[in-house]
Amino acid sequence: MAEKLFLYVLTDTHYISEKMWEEGDPINSREKGDQIAIKSTPQILRTFFDKILADDEVRHVLITGDLINSGEKQSHLDFINELKVLTDAGKHVYVTTATHDYAGEGEDGDENIFHATYYAKDGCRPTERVGKKDLLPLYYDFGPAQSDSVHETGSYSLPIQEGYRLIAINDNGNGRSHCGLFDEGFDWLVGEIRKAKANGELVFLAVHHPVIPPWEVFRAAADFEMFGGYERMRKIMCEENVKIIFTGHTHVQGIKKYTDEQGRFFYDITTTALPSANGKMRRVVFDKDAGTCDIKSVGIETIKGWDTQGLSAHDYISRLNFGGALEQAFEAADTDWDGFLKKASGTLPVDKLQKHPHLAKWGVKKFNKLKMSTVAKLAGRKSGLTKEEKETLKGEKAKDVVFTVMDHIQGGNAPYTPDTPEYKALHGVTRRVDKLMKLVHFDLNKKLPGIHSLSEMADPFFYNNRTGDDDAILIEGLE
């Protein structure tokens, strides 16, 4: 009999120390139009940690990289103090580090796109950084110290609880360099899996970068954002019968299944960034005897200790982000053009809009007025829309549907399933564009390898055509 393993999985906390910024344009423009909140990351983290502290059943917490903003030492030091609140309360905390956690200066042969930055009110200044080699000693107590094998990449193999083994892989690269394992690292990984299996342990993995992309277009457009060596990792997981890997990096909430030609499979459980509008952590329960893993998701309603101007955590963070900022700008556009430009700065090329003000105003106002019934007309007769459905679309603005789709890109579980009139209209339009592209001999596959049509590419943004629910799953048949 093995006891159940209870675990929280968090990722992409992107924490910034309160000592690393002062109120002003530099920090506010850093935050605006991103996918996450920045300034309130300490408060967001603490709000989630309060939930963990209140949950007596769960003893283990795993955080899979992008711990801090941009490689600055102060943020790491303060972040570690936050982790100690959990360990002082008796929780076991394990972390891996990733792309944002160090700022290289070329010494590791890495292209460096991150700079340790202090955001003063009058501009950004460099601040003390952490290099790649500093990360293992810095976080040694959070995983490596409890492990029986630590690889030079900082990856570690941890007997997390009797009968269970976590192998946490530290990505080698940052920015645009190779973010994955090399030959020798993969050999270490396979060796650890086999050892654990021989001991009868249930093995699961964690890594920052995705092994299965949230959508195929992600892989087609940005293969370098995938785990370096993801094909090899897929093969290893299928061959070695490891069914679960927890990932982050994409800031997308998703559960994806990969099945190879022989029917062997595994799941990539990717969790959205903690400080995103739909920020969540995973509550995971492994039951070795039953061979199951039950995964659920936990979000927050408010941000404790932060002035959200009366808004929920979702609405407050959403307004800072690209989609939410754009939505606010479009809301203002009809009555206050200058207000639109101000709100759109950082999300749209405002300078270009100002060069053609009449055309821009016309376009924006037209978009604001556009009804879904007009979209339905564009979808043509083969859209499958009934008369009644067309009627309901008359009362719906296209921009509301567009912004709803945008809000779910990261949050997962978009609402427009194939039976909804919105889906029929949107899907109909994408199919007509596909036909048009065929007519003019435009081959999407040449631009985005592996992507053959716009309709196929767009579908996963309208509804969850993955495993049915990006927040929860019960995985069975674990050995």
- Give the interface with Fe ion as residue ranges (CB under 5 A): 12, 66, 98-99, 249
* Nearer CB in complex with Fe ion: 40/383: 40
- For residues 307-332, one letter each, b for 16 or more C-beta atoms within 10 angstroms of the residue's C-beta and e for the rest, the string is ebeeeebbebbbbbbbbbbbbbbbbb
Distance CA 349, CA 185 (A): 43
Tell me the backbone φ, ψ of residue 330, rounded to 5 degrees.
Answer: -65, -35
Identify which of residues 112 and 161 has a Cβ nearer to Fe ion in the complex: 112
CA distance 270 to 256: 8
Q: Which is closer to Fe ion, CB of 66 or CB of 327? A: 66
Cβ 85 to Fe ion shortest distance, Å: 22
In the complex with Fe ion, the residue whose CB is nearer, 97 or 99, is 99
Task: Give me the least distance between CB of 208 and Fe ion, in Å please.
Answer: 6
What is the phi/psi pair of residue 21, to 5°? -155, 155
CB 268 within 8 A of CB 7: no
Q: Which ranges of 295-415 does DSSP label H, i.e. alpha helix? A: 313-320, 322-333, 337-344, 350-355, 357-369, 372-379, 387-393, 398-411
Closest to 171 (Cα-Cα) out of 98, 253, 66: 98
Give the chain's largest Cα–Cα span.
Answer: 73
- Total residues belonging to the chain: 479
Q: Which is nearer to Fe ion, 17 or 328 (CB)?
A: 17
Q: Which residue is nearest to Fe ion (CB)?
A: 66
Q: How far is the CB of 225 from Fe ion (least distance, A)?
A: 8
CB of 37 to Fe ion, least distance (A): 13
- Dihedral over Cα of 383, 389, 390, 395: its sign: negative
- The DSSP string of 54-91 is T-TT--EEEEES--BSSSBHHHHHHHHHHHHHHHHTT-
Helix, strand, or coil here: 147?
Answer: coil
Query: Closer to Fe ion at the Cβ: 99 or 278?
Result: 99
Is the Cβ of residue 182 or residue 224 nearer to Fe ion in the bound state? Answer: 224
Residue placing its CB nearer to Fe ion in the complex, 14 or 165:
14
Nearer to Fe ion, 36 or 83 (CB): 36
Nearer to Fe ion, 26 or 173 (CB): 173
Minimum CB distance to Fe ion, residue 36 (Å) = 8
Q: How far is the CB of 460 from Fe ion (least distance, A)?
A: 20
Taking the C-alpha atoms of residue 240 and residue 366, their distance in angstroms, rounded to an integer, is 55
In the complex, the smallest distance separating the C-beta of residue 337 from Fe ion, rounded to whole angstroms, is: 35
User: Least Å distance between CB 114 and Fe ion?
Assistant: 10
- How far apart are CB 403 and Fe ion at their closest, in Å? 23
Burial of 261 (0-12, 13-18, 19+ CB in 10 A): exposed
- By DSSP bridging, strand 123-126 and strand 149-150 are unpaired
CB of 47 to Fe ion, least distance (A): 19
List residues bridging with 268 in a β-sheet: 245, 256
**CA 254 – CA 90 distance, rounded (Å):** 30
Please list, in sequence order, all residues whose beta carbon lies within 8 angstroms of the beta carbon of residue 419, skipping any fewer than 6 positions away.
none
